Structure 1
Amino acid sequence: MSCSSCATNKSGVPKGCKSNGNCATGTCGSGNKLAVFDWLSNMTLPSGEAPFNIVEVRFKNGRKHFYKNSENLTISMGDVVAVEGSSGHDVGIVSLAGELVKVQMKKRKVAADSDDVKKIYRKASQKDIDVWQEARGRELETQRKGREIISRLGLKMKLSDVEYQGDGTKATFYYTADERVDFRQLIRDLASAFSIRVEMRQVGMRQEAARLGGIGSCGRELCCSTWLTDFRKVNTAAARYQQLSLNPLKLAGQCGKLKCCLNYELDTYLDALQSFPKQDKVLNTEKGEAVFVKMDIFKKLLWYTYKEESFKWYKLSLEQVQEIIELNKNNELALPLEEYEFEITEEVSVNFENVVGQDSLTRFDAPKKGRKNSRRRKRKPINKKEANQAPSNNQRSNKKPTNKKDANQTPSNNQRPNRKPQRKSVKPEAGSKTETKRVDNRKSKPKNNPRNRKPRPEGKNAEKQKGQPKNNKNQQRRNNNQRKKNNSDRKNNTNNEK
């Protein structure tokens, strides 16, 4: 549900009421701060019983008060009404009516015959609404000039918000300050600058955050500006019970104080900690004394370490620690912590189960390419002539032959150190013949030996080789040209030697 200012236009683009997430007109029930759903609105009262004549009226930034409908006007939720003010009248929106108002008054401890419950004058006319909207439009400019006056006077205070009364004759200035401030001269300057009656109201850091609103570290709107009405005291002990690090940057909220949400789970932690021993309890074992390090409350695990060997932590269950404490009470030493740690068996938790027959989530990803080629050294391009040349052993491997004669000459046997088998002479013993052992480092056999030839393939391999196609004509031509070129090079070499 949305009002006319929040709804979309003809082209489908949302208009937006520019009120920082809250409805400016007040007709959007879910968009209001601290809104209450009237679940008794469709129910009829018993016969002869009059409806409750007190309604709840909402003003700027969620400020609410109770007003008496003494003239029995037909008022429903969302109506704009003119109510009694401190001087003059104020304009607000009815946020709740009926029997639920009794519950809200009981919650805030407001009696029906209290002086705080003022009366409703009338339903707001169009003139009242125009004056009210004009006064609301001057609030930002008044706040800016008010801050300039405060800085000129040198007062240690922060002006957080300004709220005009519905008739535009009075303005309330909300400020925060750590110390007591003498603002008598400030009131005179503000009254003369804006020609209005001025009221100064000091609020706390939490009330300021509730009025202004914002987004918390959890990503949601602040609790104090949406549903939280009572601000309970928050201590650092709440963080200690929940095993949180005492980092003020993480524990502080938008208001600069400790987060209200630290109290939400505190009762659950206190109930769970009742069965745990105190952290200053020392365990006496055969190996030495063990002290507490940390704990996991909901898994019921504790970590202890020896005083002399603090580099090693031992994980124990709550039952094991209680067993050791009982032994120490009977003046008995427990076994070393290593033996207790071996008894703990952790269950492997399965994060994903293929219960529906789903495939791998990465089945559509492209496979990763190998890095074999990238790790190889980049080789320089080799010419055809250089490829046919064989360098001698006297030359370095990186040195290229320059003459054709040197390129075609093959190295001699004297230049091949490891190819010729080495003969190792052994000194003969007394009365024995001299023997020579032949050590072949290469353990290779000549190629022309028919015994070393591989047998011809039989079976399937033979069929595959028989079925291979022969070289085509182009390949034969290349081979013939290469033979001719080699023969001509040989003739040239022999002529040069002569």
Structure 2
Amino acid sequence: MSGCTNCSTDANAVGGCQNNGSCGTEDCNKMNTFDWLSHMGIPEVDKFDVVEIKFKGGRKDYFRNTNLLQLTTGDPVVVDVPNGHHIGYVSLQGELVRLQMQKRKVKNDDAITGIYRVATQKDLEKWQEAKNREIPTIYRSKQIIDEIKLAMKLSDVEYQADNSKATFYYSADDRVDFRELIKLLASEFKIRVEMRQISLRQEAGRLGGIGVCGRELCCSTWIHDFKSVTTSAARYQNLSLNPSKLSGQCGRLKCCLNFELDSYLMALKDIPKIEKPLLTEAGSAKLQKTDIFRRLMWFSYNDDNNWHSIDCDRVQAIVNQNEKGITPFSLKLDKAFEGDYDQNKTNEDLELLDKKFSQTKRKKKRKPKNRKPNPNAAQQSDAEGGSASPNKPRRNNRNQKRGNRSQNSSENSPQSQGKPESPDSKVNGNGSRNKKRKPNPNRNRGGQNKPNKGSTDDN
């Protein structure tokens, strides 16, 4: 069960740490184990009495429920530890604990200590006071290590709940003589000191972080037993042997290199081993690349840049022919073929995808938007006996206004009022009147010769 579910305030949900969403265990959803036997109705008489308790940094240990306490996953309990007591959280109980103990090779004997009680509020307050000393202790301890010049790296400090003991976790490449360091730390913090060396992978698991995949580190979430990772795992998977890409945040090879190794080893059984170039009449072909799961192999003639892909069955057939002294015509043909040969394009889908994105997108011309008709213009035109086009209401309005102006000007013309028309004015067909402009004798139009200074205009 997850820690966030345990913190729920629902009446039907389990109690858990009861912090209403802000889990006080500091390790919520870290190294959790799903109890898939919790709803199978196992008899209560034969219930396993050993409980798995989780501590800081995902560390887990096993304690016996001698007092038959009613425990729930996420409950804080006070447990018996050497020279005092400590507080942890219930992470697993029932028959699944027996399987976990068998997996980790933990013996069910008298060495397993018991659980005292469920932690009270006073116990939790005292434990919180002890935990508040951890960060200042780390800073001061690193200063002391630098002063005495020890080749070690301090990563974490864990105080016991009774504030009587502190465990210092460190990593080092070589053996470290820290006897003097223990004396200085004991006199500085007035506490019993325990030094515990951990590996770099365990250090990364305790500190946590985000990997290059964008997810939380596997060593801080679910990996308990760290297996050795070698560069041969990268070779089997055809990965680049670049240390910067194969190394994790701990500085060692990534644990995920072992996740798919078995699948690659099964697929490599059907891949032929190429120890020397393939001999053909077109030239010797060298292996350039192998796609293990598609069972394709790429070869090039005489170190040419053009690669030719063939399947593994064809490669094995060419290897058998070369062992018998037979040289095929090419990688794809055994004999010379006259005519067009339709080669199977193994990467046809990839080529089509490249062509799709390589073409530049042309800008589409914007189509003219259809303007909405003006209902007022249509009503006005209907009232006057005309018809207005719905696509061009504005132009019709302008023509209508011009017609009104011409009509008004014709009514106000001198002929309509009986007045004589001026000789300098002329009425157009539309009814508008234009005055004649007198010619300017000094203006040169269209390259005409200017009149002489002595000449006069009779007009």
Scaled by the length of structure 2, what TM-score is found?
Answer: 0.71
Which shows bigger deviation, 317-326 or 182-191? 317-326
Tell me how far apart the structure 2 counterparts of residues 230 and 246 of structure 1 sit (CA, whole Å). Answer: 25
| Residue-by-residue CA offset, 1:136-195 (whole Å, 9 max, x unaligned) | 111011011000100111111110000001101100000011111111111111000000
Tell me how far apart the structure 1 counterparts of residues 63 and 169 of structure 2 sit (CA, whole Å). Answer: 23
Aligned 8 A contact 2:6 2:73 in 1: no
Q: After the TM superposition, which residues 233-382 of structure 1 pair with which residues of structure 2 at under 5 Å, given as runs?
A: 233-307=228-302, 309-337=303-331, 343-346=343-346, 348-349=348-349
Aligned 8 A contact 1:211 1:225 in 2: yes
Which shows bigger deviation, 315-324 or 226-235? 315-324
Q: Secondary structure at the match of 1:216?
A: coil
Structure 1's 285 and 123: CA in aligned 2 closer, same or farther, altered over 3 A?
A: same
| Residue-by-residue CA offset, 1:231-276 (whole Å, 9 max, x unaligned) | 1111111111111111111111111111111111111111111111
Letter in 2 for 1:492: K
Letter in 1 for 2:91: S
| Residue-by-residue CA offset, 1:87-112 (whole Å, 9 max, x unaligned) | 11111111111121111111111121
Aligned 8 A contact 1:280 1:291 in 2: no
Structure 1's 484 and 140: CA in aligned 2 closer, same or farther, altered over 3 A?
A: same
Shift of 1:486: 4.4
Q: Does 1:53 align with 2:53?
A: no
Tell me how far apart the structure 2 counterparts of residues 157 and 267 of structure 1 sit (CA, whole Å). Answer: 37
Aligned 8 A contact 1:251 1:259 in 2: yes
Shift of 1:318: 1.7
Structure 1's 118 and 348: CA in aligned 2 closer, same or farther, altered over 3 A?
A: same
Q: Does 1:166 align with 2:161?
A: yes
Tell me how far apart the structure 1 counterparts of residues 441 and 95 of structure 2 sit (CA, whole Å). Answer: 113
Shift of 1:477: 9.3
Structure 1's 332 and 478: CA in aligned 2 closer, same or farther, altered over 3 A?
A: farther
| 1:491 corresponding residue in structure 2 | 449
Q: After the TM superposition, which residues 78-477 of structure 1 pair with which residues of structure 2 at under 5 Å, given as runs?
A: 78-113=74-109, 115=111, 117-307=112-302, 309-337=303-331, 343-346=343-346, 348-349=348-349
Aligned 8 A contact 2:441 2:451 in 1: no
| Residue-by-residue CA offset, 1:264-300 (whole Å, 9 max, x unaligned) | 1111111111111213232111233222111111222
Q: Secondary structure at the match of 1:258?
A: coil
Q: Does 1:67 align with 2:63?
A: yes
Tell me how far apart the structure 1 counterparts of residues 252 and 437 of structure 2 sit (CA, whole Å). Answer: 90
Match of 2:37 among 35, 40, 49: 40
Shift of 1:201: 0.4
Q: Secondary structure at the match of 1:298?
A: coil
Letter in 2 for 1:491: N
Percent sequence identity over aligned pairs: 48
Shift of 1:50: 3.6
Q: Secondary structure at the match of 2:234?
A: helix
Q: Secondary structure at the match of 1:174?
A: strand
Q: Secondary structure at the match of 1:221?
A: coil
Letter in 2 for 1:111: K
Structure 1's 473 and 76: CA in aligned 2 closer, same or farther, altered over 3 A?
A: same
Tell me how far apart the structure 1 counterparts of residues 196 and 431 of structure 2 sit (CA, whole Å). Answer: 105
Aligned 8 A contact 1:280 1:292 in 2: no
Letter in 1 for 2:329: L
- Runs (5+) with no aligned partner, structure 1: 8-16, 353-364, 371-469
| 2:377 corresponding residue in structure 1 | none
Structure 1's 344 and 482: CA in aligned 2 closer, same or farther, altered over 3 A?
A: farther
Shift of 1:350: 9.7
Q: Secondary structure at the match of 2:88?
A: strand
Shift of 1:317: 2.1
Q: Secondary structure at the match of 1:492?
A: coil
Aligned 8 A contact 1:22 1:33 in 2: no
Question: How many aligned residue pairs are there?
Answer: 366
Letter in 2 for 1:79: D
Tell me how far apart the structure 1 counterparts of residues 349 and 219 of structure 2 sit (CA, whole Å). Answer: 38
Aligned 8 A contact 2:442 2:451 in 1: no
Letter in 2 for 1:345: K
Which shows bigger deviation, 261-270 or 314-323? 314-323
Letter in 1 for 2:450: N
Scaled by the length of structure 1, what TM-score is found?
Answer: 0.66
Aligned 8 A contact 2:79 2:114 in 1: yes
| Residue-by-residue CA offset, 1:441-466 (whole Å, 9 max, x unaligned) | xxxxxxxxxxxxxxxxxxxxxxxxxx
Q: Secondary structure at the match of 2:310?
A: strand
Structure 1's 139 and 332: CA in aligned 2 closer, same or farther, altered over 3 A?
A: same
Aligned 8 A contact 1:292 1:305 in 2: yes
Tell me how far apart the structure 1 counterparts of residues 441 and 451 of structure 2 sit (CA, whole Å). Answer: 16
Tell me how far apart the structure 1 counterparts of residues 41 and 448 of structure 2 sit (CA, whole Å). Answer: 121
Shift of 1:306: 3.1
Which shows bigger deviation, 208-217 or 281-290? 281-290
| Residue-by-residue CA offset, 1:467-493 (whole Å, 9 max, x unaligned) | xxx99999x999999999544852328
Letter in 2 for 1:23: C
Tell me how far apart the structure 2 counterparts of residues 67 and 150 of structure 1 sit (CA, whole Å). Answer: 35
Tell me how far apart the structure 1 counterparts of residues 183 and 429 of structure 2 sit (CA, whole Å). Answer: 110
Tell me how far apart the structure 2 counterparts of residues 225 and 198 of structure 1 sit (CA, whole Å). Answer: 25
